[in-house]
Structure 1
Amino acid sequence: MECEASLKNSAAILILLTIFSHVNSWYFKCENGFCIRNADPNDKSNYPTLELCSLVCSSFHNVWPQPTGKMASLKNIVRINPNKIEIKLNGPPGTDHFIADNILHFSKKLKKEEPYNCTEKVYPLKIILTPKSNNPHLDLNTNESYTLEIIYEDDTITASINAYSIFGIRHGLETLFQLIIPYEDGNQKCIATLSYVYISDKPVYKHRGLLLDTGRNFLSVDTIKRHLDGMAASKLNVLHWHITDSQSFPLEVGRLPNMTKYGAYSEKHIYSESAIKDLLQYANRRGVRILPEIDAPSHAGNGWQWGEEAGLGNLAVCINRQPWRSFCIQPPCGQLNPTNQNLYSVLKDLYSHMRDHFPDTGMFHMGGDEVFIPCWNSTQEIIDYLRGKPLTTETFLDLWGEFQRKALAAYDRAFEHEDTSIVVWTSHITQPEVIRKYLSNERYIIQTWVPESNINLITELLKLEYRVIISTKDKWYLDHGFWGSTLYYNWKTVYENKMYKYNHEGILGGEVCMWGELVDDNNIDSRVWPRAAAAAERLWSNPRSTAEFAQYRFFAQRKRLVDLGIHAEALTPKWCVDSQGECKTYL
């Protein structure tokens, strides 16, 4: 009897072990475009991991953002010998440093899956990179297209990336990395790809941006670099850096040391010249250009209050005045003083610093939003300056236009040319009925931040031949949902923002915006990512398909971001990630 009970117990334990083995060792099979979990280890159609199955089964082989040109492939898996990866550069002289840095970045990402131990049926990988141009400068007209071809023949895997620019080569490497998947089966671990892939790819929009705000809360250099890594992984190419605001002025300006003396939160909250140089180089190597914004004439308070002490008069007015609702949109208050001619000399020094320490990419952002007329209308020296004129909205718009004209002249003197395109936010002086009076359509690019329902404003600006960058306020403002009556926009809402209903050459692209009132180093990652990657596919591919069609590729992209060290927000229970097709319309 004891022996019989022991045998029954052993059988029960064996059954439980078998069940647990199946629970913890799922296989995956491709059915109707989904990777379906399968507990049968003998099914010959199995793939050992979800990642490997998705490489074969998913739309666009899990590449994010989806390629826009021709794509062809064979769905056969070949395993790569990670110890025999050779990278060859066939570019013109001068491309070595840029390409070498990107090769190092590519290699580091592959090494994160080590150690590898596959020894059988693994093949060497040869990567050939061929750019036509060695131009290291990224601007609005840079050709970012590339082709990628992977061929397995004669026991060798060859990946050839061809592009006009080194930035196209960088994008091709990013796509290649997404097509190389960890291969784990039992005790075997290596990396694998498809036996044949051809991709021809280029972005739909030239300007694909993310705005970070360091004026409200300081962000460390490491945090900004982490976002640059996420941008590179998603093929975003513009970091719109809202550096300063009325709360703080954290940018070190050698010509104007009082800006940080009066404006920085502390000595630890300053972007030094060396930090700027480091960030600019890091961004460039990630295929990102930094678009700096020095907001003016509004959103300019702390950092500007030293004028009288220096004998220059009031450079700004209404600084830190209370009650703040009487003098600005949000505290602390502060607007530049357009009637003080010394202001324009200070601006020239500031713009000269930008010339010396930021590359001339042909674009600069002057802000220009939320000018609060009651501030100027309550300042005696401004009222005196306007003596003899009616204190009407039109008079103050003319004063604002005068400021913009003189600020632009100061910028042009600093740069010694008049070729820079100046970006400004939509505001009272960009309304279609008055904009031509104040802003030239040859010099100014208008960044719209209106809700989707106000699409007519974009139409009118395009009719007036202005170039436009779109930041749809009720789709792409990532700070919304955490203050006031604003709503949170999930990744599907971000993804399905089509920006504008027509293709128009005047639309340069768009930006998602992470305003900084409620974020700092500790929580910004999850507010930005992976939603910014959803906008990235809209800006690169502008797909006709819905977020539901893209969701499993997007889940894979979120994992890539996490693997880069970005604390990306969770999108759904892991069960839904692993059980494709089982959570339709959920979350």
Structure 2
Amino acid sequence: MITSKACYFQFIVSFTICFVCIGGSLYKFRCNSGKCTRQHSNFTSGTERYFDTLNECRLLCGEYSSLWPIPTKELRLGDQTVEIHPNSISFNYTDGSDEVRGFLNQTQEIFLDNLFKECGPRCVHSTVVPLHITIKLDSNDLSLTWATNESYVLHVASDNNKTEVTLTASNVFGARHGLETLSQLMVAKNYADGNCLLVLAEARISDSPKFAHRGFLLDTARNYISTKAILRQLDGMASIKMNVLHWHITDSQSFPLELVSYPQVTKQGAYSEDESYSQADVRNIFQYAKQRGIRVILEFDAPAHAGNGWQWAPSANLGNIAVCINEQPWRQLCIEPPCGQFNPANENLYKVLDKVYSDFAQLIPAEEILHMGGDEVFFGCWNATEEIVDYLSKQGKGRGASDFLDLWAEFQSKVLELWDRARNSQIPSPTVLWSSHLTDPSVIEKYLPKDRYIIQTWVEKNADLPKKLLKKGYRLIISTKNAWYFDHGFWGVTTYYNWRKVYNNKILNSSLILGGEACTWTEFIDEHSLDSRTWPRLAAVGERLWADPTMDATKAEGRFYRQRDRLIKRGLSPEAVTPFWCEQNEGECR
């Protein structure tokens, strides 16, 4: 005989199973003053509009819906939705070259793949309303540089029979951004027989970025990061319209890049044969990135940060190409172990680098630049190297800071000439250097012409270096050290910067500022922790550099949580930033 308690338990279990099987929820959600809050399903009012899911509420709640980053120009959004299925979407872009149509075909595939991820594994609910997308481009230009026009205009209109989307852009990259925005105007809808998508029935958006350089630095030399993990970062970057992957690919710890001219550099410099990047790997990453509207800027750091991989030179009768390699005590010879710097006193260095820069020139697309590093040169290493001291002495120089600055500038001038020769371009392209002693406002004009060098500053927010360099007419990329260094908070006396601190970091606004970069240095990060250390904080940088909003992070909470949800659906593993109760009750956990 079943007791009353057992009978009650059986009823609850049966009810729960049935409730789950039809996609139900204990809660519904309502929009209150632009924020979504939850309400128990048993206590909803018949006079208010309630939504079945939090994401559905976010789509129709607030000035910016769930868009990330926010559009910068016109934004008009309807308050009704239409059910669609990814299979009911069709495209029209008959104009354009074969190469442009090929690019758009791949963009279409990525767009649809992202919609199926949003819809979920049960994306089988049938709908009858088709969605038709017409793409119109002003140009067949496929070059992606700081001068590329990334603007777009998106128009969504619906009637009882269909939804029409018109996307107008200057080029394929603006069109790509527009499709990214369109995907964010959709949300999964759950039914007993499966899922479909809801799309806003009406929308008009005109949009373009505030900054041309919206970057993310990834260090793959301290710890090796697999190509699979790098591609995953590019997927995340595409979702927030970031357009530069700054790839710090070599350092004193390892040289994992395959060189055609000197394969022994990789053999001695990579952690293992499996932990290196072939030329094909790098080209694949360049292509994968460009298809997502992202440039890849390789950094070959020099003359410091050059150690492992260069030990072979003496046995090849080339002398010491690099000095202080792995020497101790390291604190007297470099900023962090292991030590290693190029040896400007050895003329064979430039003969070797001539071929190395040619390798880079063959690898990097014609319109792309090279980041030349150039930070943290440690004069103690050169001062402890007899042949360098002798070299300076023969030039009538001593061992003071200005003498080593002159040597450093001599090296920089010679390698820039090597790079120009390798590029063989009629118009020499600019290159990028980190801020350093060489870029100090008191000496920079002596050593670095402003038409050739862009300076990437990595100083604290309140430092006056960027303003001083701007006054002298130098172009800048800003990496605010005490807000956008994502390795901070896990070593030494550094501080972790939460997403609100990251979001609220405004950079200077000047025609000479190309934009900014967040940086993930990997001394204490590998590919298993890469996602959680980088995401979703990088999304906060993405909105700052695309829209440079005047509002602070407290006004962006719901949209930020929704963007984190998108990242998860697209295969990333971002860290949690708040209890889920706080997500369901926006504004209650400050």
Q: TM-score, normalised by structure 2?
A: 0.94
* Deviation for aligned residue 1:390: 2.3
Q: 2:108 aligned with 1:69, yes or no?
A: no
Match of 2:139 in 1: 133
Gaps spanning 5+ residues in structure 2: where?
Answer: none
Q: Which amino acid aligns with 1:484?
A: G
Asked if structure 1 preserves the Cα contact closer than 8 Å seen for 2:125 and 2:191, the reply is no
1:396-451 Cα shifts (integer Å, max 9, x gaps): 10011101000111111111135211100010010101000100000000000001
Query: Aligned with 2:60: secondary structure?
Result: helix
Q: Which amino acid aligns with 2:35?
A: F
Return closer, same or farther for 1:401/1:90 CA change in 2, 3 Å cut-off: same
Match of 1:527 in 2: 533
Q: Which amino acid aligns with 1:109?
A: N
Give the stretch that moved more between structures: 315-324 or 573-582. Answer: 573-582
* Deviation for aligned residue 1:168: 0.5
Asked if structure 1 preserves the Cα contact closer than 8 Å seen for 2:122 and 2:194, the reply is no
Fraction of identical pairs, as percent: 47
Query: Aligned with 2:300: secondary structure?
Result: strand
Match of 1:34 in 2: 35
Supply the distance in 1 between the matched residues of 2:303 and 2:58 (Cα, whole angstroms).
51
Match of 2:58 in 1: 54
Query: Aligned with 2:216: secondary structure?
Result: strand
2:439 counterpart (430, 455, 469): 430
Q: Which amino acid aligns with 1:178?
A: Q
* Deviation for aligned residue 1:28: 1.4
Alignment of 1:99-248 (within 5 A): 99-112=104-117, 113-119=120-126, 122-185=128-191, 187=193, 189-248=195-254
Q: 2:486 aligned with 1:485, yes or no?
A: no
Asked if structure 2 preserves the Cα contact closer than 8 Å seen for 1:92 and 1:132, the reply is no
1:440 counterpart (449, 467, 476): 449
Asked if structure 1 preserves the Cα contact closer than 8 Å seen for 2:476 and 2:515, the reply is yes
Query: Aligned with 1:483: secondary structure?
Result: coil
Query: Aligned with 2:296: secondary structure?
Result: strand
Query: Aligned with 1:365: secondary structure?
Result: coil
1:466-520 Cα shifts (integer Å, max 9, x gaps): 00000000000000000000000010110000022xx210000000000011111
Supply the distance in 2 between the matched residues of 1:117 and 1:336 (Cα, whole angstroms).
60
2:465 counterpart (457, 461, 464): 457
Query: Aligned with 1:278: secondary structure?
Result: helix
Supply the distance in 2 between the matched residues of 1:533 and 1:240 (Cα, whole angstroms).
16
Give the stretch that moved more between structures: 366-375 or 180-189. Answer: 180-189
Query: Aligned with 1:440: secondary structure?
Result: coil
Asked if structure 2 preserves the Cα contact closer than 8 Å seen for 1:117 and 1:188, the reply is yes
* Deviation for aligned residue 1:12: 9.6
Return closer, same or farther for 1:561/1:12 CA change in 2, 3 Å cut-off: closer
Supply the distance in 2 between the matched residues of 1:12 and 1:528 (Cα, whole angstroms).
45
Q: Which amino acid aligns with 2:234?
A: L
Query: Aligned with 2:65: secondary structure?
Result: helix
Q: Which amino acid aligns with 2:123?
A: Y
Asked if structure 1 preserves the Cα contact closer than 8 Å seen for 2:225 and 2:526, the reply is yes
Alignment of 1:128-527 (within 5 A): 128-185=134-191, 187=193, 189-387=195-393, 388-417=396-425, 418-454=427-463, 456-500=464-508, 503-527=509-533
* Deviation for aligned residue 1:169: 0.7
1:321-356 Cα shifts (integer Å, max 9, x gaps): 111111111111000011111211211211111111
2:571 counterpart (544, 565, 571): 565
* Deviation for aligned residue 1:16: 10
Supply the distance in 2 between the matched residues of 1:114 and 1:305 (Cα, whole angstroms).
52
1:529-574 Cα shifts (integer Å, max 9, x gaps): 1111110000000000010100110000001111111110011111
Supply the distance in 2 between the matched residues of 1:342 and 1:19 (Cα, whole angstroms).
76
Supply the distance in 2 between the matched residues of 1:269 and 1:19 (Cα, whole angstroms).
49
Asked if structure 1 preserves the Cα contact closer than 8 Å seen for 2:29 and 2:54, the reply is yes
Q: Which runs of 4+ in 1 moved over 6 A?
A: 8-23
1:165-192 Cα shifts (integer Å, max 9, x gaps): 1011111111111111111255563111
Q: Which amino acid aligns with 1:101?
A: Q
Asked if structure 2 preserves the Cα contact closer than 8 Å seen for 1:91 and 1:132, the reply is no
* Deviation for aligned residue 1:314: 1.1
Give the stretch that moved more between structures: 191-200 or 91-100. Answer: 91-100
Return closer, same or farther for 1:425/1:30 CA change in 2, 3 Å cut-off: same
Supply the distance in 2 between the matched residues of 1:389 and 1:356 (Cα, whole angstroms).
38
The root-mean-square deviation of aligned C-alpha atoms, in Å, is 2.1
Gaps spanning 5+ residues in structure 1: where?
Answer: none
1:118-162 Cα shifts (integer Å, max 9, x gaps): 446x41111112222222221111111111111102511011111
Supply the distance in 2 between the matched residues of 1:246 and 1:435 (Cα, whole angstroms).
26
